Amino acid sequence: MTALSASLFDYILPEDLIAQRPADKRDGSRMMAFERISGKTEILAFPRITDFLQPGDAMIFNDTRVLHGRMFARKNGDPAGAAFELLLVEELSPRRWKVLLKPGKRALPGVRGALLKADGSINTRGDFFTVIGRYEQEAFEVEFSGDVTEMQTRYGHVPLPPYIQRGDENADSERYQTIFAAKPGAVAAPTAGLHFTPEILQELENKGVRNAAVTLHVGPGTFKPVSVEDVTQHKMHSEEFFLPEATANLIEETHRNGHKVLAVGTTTVRVLESCVGADGKLNPGHGRTEIFLYPPYRPRVTDMLLTNFHLPKSTLLMLVSCYAERDTVLAAYQKAIENHMRFYSYGDCMLFY
């Protein structure tokens, strides 16, 4: 396998372009339309996405729902005890979860943490978790004392990405979920979907554009930087996915009839590229994927991609560089910077067509 340098995917982003809050309206972001062959770009209002889809085309989105999975606790319910922060990652059984837990050095087997209310005080209901032990290198297994869905409602916070330098607010409960969100399980939003409104979906439906869902429960590894210089040596994180048969059939039918398929977000691309066989046929099902896409790979299932702007040297920037030449993608990023477009989860977006 030929080495590929991570530094090839580096760029300098002014910190003030990292969006700290969403646009005033869901569809109020800007969209850079990027013609894949020529590299030509145009900056438009997001609702103009309807201009790029034609009758008979299909749009595939990720219907995962972000857990209110960031919680805070005090060891043994002592107001002066050690403070814990935990992030729900994956349900192992009704009360047992894989979590990220800080500080890990204090998370010894048997340690209990009483969950904190929004004002930082210890709950009076006796709700707590107990550390079972280390689950993986960076994760722990814990057992909760009650229904975890109810505990998320009482004590959970929206797990905003680490580059958003503020705590979660009431508005984030809605705005950090897409309108497609249906199946709880993600620790981060599939952010390309954040721009859609029911009105835009209706306009696309009226135009004859069909849509369907996949599910990929975004894991914490989505923010993990590539720490090796040779990209081909990077260890990708694993995420659970579902590809329904109806979605696979829609994609096959769309292409058979000579129309295009738009992937809403890199998570959608990861599901579809994980499920395409050597014969080009999609294989619906449920599993886990560690797929890592980088140039010179070219996507086999989708013709268009809607995605937000991604971090330097990130696996997601490498994935979008599979849709066009890397240098033209980075040139488009530079144009976005020059035009003060907003970056990352709550930022503007980019349409590869």
Mean pLDDT, residues 221-234 taken together: 85
- The percentage of residues in the chain with a pLDDT greater than 90, rounded to a whole number, is 93
3-state helix, strand, coil in the chain (%, to 5): 25, 30, 45
Q: What phi and psi, each to the nearest 5 degrees, are found at residue 131?
A: -75, 125
Measured over the CA atoms of residue 71, residue 72, residue 77 and residue 83, the dihedral's sign is: positive
Look at residue 325 and tell me whether its pLDDT is greater than 70: yes
pLDDT band of 1, cuts 50, 70, 90: low
- pTM of structure: 0.94
Q: What phi and psi, each to the nearest 5 degrees, are found at residue 337?
A: -65, -45
Look at residue 36 and tell me whether its pLDDT is greater than 90: yes
Task: Give the bridge partners for 115, in sequence order.
Answer: 73
Mean pLDDT, residues 253-274 taken together: 98
Burial 317-332 (b: 16+ CB within 10 A, else e): bbbbbbbbebebbbeb
Task: Give the bridge partners for 102, in sequence order.
Answer: 85
Which of 24-28, 96-100, 218-222, 270-274 has the least mean pLDDT?
218-222
Q: State how far Cα 228 lies from the chain centre.
A: 22
* H-run or E-run covering 172: helix 172-175
Q: State how far Cα 308 lies from the chain centre.
A: 10
CA-to-CA distance for 243 and 241, rounded, in angstroms? 7
Q: Give the per-residue SS3 of 142-168.
A: EEECCCHHHHHHHHCECCCCCCCCCCC
CATH fold, domain 6-66+173-352, is QueA-like (3.40.1780)
**What residue ranges in the chain does DSSP mark as E strands?**
30-34, 41-45, 58-62, 64-66, 70-75, 83-91, 96-102, 112-115, 128-134, 140-144, 183-186, 210-216, 239-243, 261-264, 285-289, 304-308, 349-352
CA-to-CA distance for 151 and 182, rounded, in angstroms? 19
pLDDT at 137: 77
Residue type, 72: F
Q: What is the CATH number of domain 70-155?
A: 2.40.10.240
CATH 2.40.10.240 residue ranges in the chain?
70-155
As a whole number of Å, the CA-based R_g of the chain is: 21
Residue with the larger pLDDT of the pair 225 and 153:
153
Residue with the larger pLDDT of the pair 237 and 134:
134
CA-to-CA distance for 293 and 217, rounded, in angstroms? 18
Each residue of 89-98: pLDDT tens digit? 999 999 999 9
CA dihedral 221, 225, 229, 232 (to 10 degrees): 30
Q: What is the mean pLDDT of the chain?
A: 96
pLDDT at 156: 97
Look at residue 8 and tell me whether its pLDDT is greater than 70: yes
CA-to-CA distance for 274 and 259, rounded, in angstroms? 22
Q: In the structure encoding, which two tokens stand for residue 184, read together?
A: 């709880």
Look at residue 303 and tell me whether its pLDDT is greater than 60: yes
Each residue of 43-79: pLDDT tens digit? 999 999 999 999 999 999 999 999 999 999 999 999 9
pLDDT at 225: 76
Look at residue 230 and tell me whether its pLDDT is greater than 70: yes
CATH 3.40.1780.10 residue ranges in the chain?
6-66+173-352
